Chain A
Amino acid sequence: MDIRVKCTDEEPEALEQEIPARRQRLLQFTNCRLVRGHRIIHEDLWVRDGRIVNPEPVFFDERAKAHCRIDCGGAIVAPGYIDLQINGGYGVDFSHDTETIEEGVAMVARGLVKSGVTSFCPTLVTSPSDSYHTILPRIPAEVSRGAGILGIHVEGPFINPQKKGAHPEHCIQTIDKGLSTLKETYGSLDRIKIITLAPEKVTDPEVIGQLVERGITVALGHSMASLSDGEGAVQQGATLITHLFNAMLPFHHRDPGLVGLLASDAVPHGRTVYFGIISDGVHTHPAALRIAYRTHPQGLILVTDAISALGLEEGVHHIGQLPLEVKQGKAFIAGTETLCGSIAPMDECVRIFQKATDCSVVYAIEAATLHPAQCLGIEQQKGTLDFGSDADFILLDDQLRVLSTWIAGVCVHRTAK
């Protein structure tokens, strides 16, 4: 199921070069099964200037034909995956490798396209203030031929020490002075896209709203919050739950905790509470995946929460301020049985999720594309194959394995046969 390219002028290899002039070329991807409008449809995909275009006005108004026709061999064409929580990979740890952060992010961005990820939020775990001050401004805004960077996810340090998981306790802080504390701790809020915090530790009722006003998504996690704590935070503007089930109180029938937000009646009308869930086959039991999926399917977002060992072999590596160990396909804090993050790439998470829940192929894909885009409010540009959106897409076979990855209409990865 390889792609076949036919261009009116130049070599097919031109599609893989990232030369600006080429961007004006009109590309027509034929013989595809597009994921569009919550269905799989037999339609061609038209791309120009790094965007998905509507072919009808191109035909009737511009009277133009495609420069290149790319036969997708019947592959499923889906929007590129979006990962909202990823701590590193390929030996890189975003929170730890301060000196080489630019190269580190670039390496991860280029590695991620192999698993079909076209946009991500580099995630920093609970770290000392200095680390944030150094790292945040140095994370690149974009990486050529790599997955796009949507902004930074700061997971901590305003979490509950009782639910720290693998985060270093001595770096955990409290929000004493509202927004000023956050600015002091992080240095600047400019590059931040998502903040995970424990709502029961937030005393100032204005803080969440102020963060949301700045376009930051407030996520709840690493928390001992009761359901009503969670509901309060949601009413103040929180819209995401960080890795559901992990680092929070378990569901209890008289106080469902944060898990209860999936069925809460206190969520403001018209608002959706999204939740990240790690479906690496380790962090969440398949039955738990099914419960979450059945309870609140429109809010489900697949995240990898992948750590530096993603893409690496068995052995000892580093995470945050602590060493970790990969054994038997899982990652633990070295010397303990505490899981400290997943190493399953996103395409594997999608496959595992689809198999565990028996959901439709379209839904499994939307959980990793449309939903994260909606959560961040960027669904006009990312997460869909709608006209006008960025041409970040992937070709998948029927087993949902990645055949090729395209960013802004340029092929950045082709899986070897």
Chain B
Amino acid sequence: MRLVILETSNSVGEWAAKYVMKRINDFQPSADRYFVLGLPTGSTPLGMYKELIEFYKQGKVSFQYVKTFNMDEYVGLARDHHESYHYFMWNNFFKHIDIEPKNVHILDGNAADLVAECNNFEDQIREAGGVELFIGGIGPDGHIAFNEPGSSLVSRTRVKTLAQDTLEANARFFENDMSKVPKQALTVGVGTVMDSKEVMILITGAHKAFALYKAIEEGVNHMWTVSAFQQHANTLMICDEDATLELRVKTVKYFKGILRDLDEGSQLEGYKN
């Protein structure tokens, strides 16, 4: 695992965007060989999307040969509701870039047959050749996507009932009215993300610190589903200082040391297309 510790949450978004741009450009995608990207929603990825849009506008990266698969979507929420993940992705990313609409895949929480929708999503990932880079976040309860505590670590895309923690975290987006908060979501499974060539997790804020500790300093445990990525060959975690608050000093020093010694950070900071 690589743990990149940056100063602020803004730095995390910027670094992540630079990394995505570098990966796409190094891959040299074309009509015969698409770059398949797994995408999250949320406030940390928002910073990453803003940077990527800037890079696109500056002509440094193109999404013409990129296919995307989002991690999750609420069940039963209108697609144009301000809290839907379709709304988030359209307004914060897709409408600003040159991605082909048919290359965008987001689970449809209003599908007539939710199980079929989930199975179909897995098929589409398979048809696309698998995900090259899957980006995700971490919940305060250590979940990846909506794989709540207790989710199978080999799970696939499916319907999940949301945990109380998640409902409470979401309430503020639904006028603090619990009756309006969606109770279910469609989500990629832990296994689905594990299948990708590389996993990049973004973690910012002190409220995520305990989850990060559980995810990397304790064992693989289905109560903290992000811990599953300890068993992925290519896990990259990007976090800010606040998110390291529950880690051992030894862990933090080790990873900061790597970054400093290899000059990896500054190489990537100065990355030019």
| Chain A interfacial positions (CB closer than 8 Å to B) | 44, 55-56, 58-60, 62-65
Contacts and interface: CB of A to CB of B under 8 A. Distances in A.
A56 B80 contact: yes
Given A59-B104, A60-B90, A60-B106, 12 more contacts: A56-B87, A56-B90, A58-B101, A59-B90, A59-B94, A59-B101, A60-B86, A60-B101, A60-B104, A63-B101, A63-B102, A64-B101
Nearest to B100: A65
Interface residues of B, number: 12
Interface of B: 79-80, 86-87, 90, 94-95, 100-102, 104, 106
Contacts of B87: 56
A64 to B, nearest CB: 6
A55 B102 contact: no
A60 B103 CA distance: 10
12 contacts: A44-B95, A56-B79, A56-B87, A56-B90, A59-B94, A59-B101, A59-B104, A60-B90, A62-B101, A63-B101, A64-B101, A65-B101
A21 B101 CA distance: 24
B95 A60 contact: no
Contacts of A63: 101-102
Nearest to A43: B95
Nearest to A46: B95
B102 A60 contact: no
A56 B93 CA distance: 12
A42 to B, nearest CB: 10
Nearest to B98: A65
Nearest to A56: B90
A245 B191 CA distance: 75
A73 to B, nearest CB: 15
A68 to B, nearest CB: 14
Nearest to B108: A60
A55 B80 CA distance: 11
Contacts of B80: 56
B86 A55 contact: no
Give the 6 A-B residue pairs with the shortest CB-CB distance, closest first: A63-B101, A63-B102, A59-B101, A56-B90, A56-B80, A65-B101
A59 B95 contact: yes
B100 A60 contact: no
Contacts of B102: 63
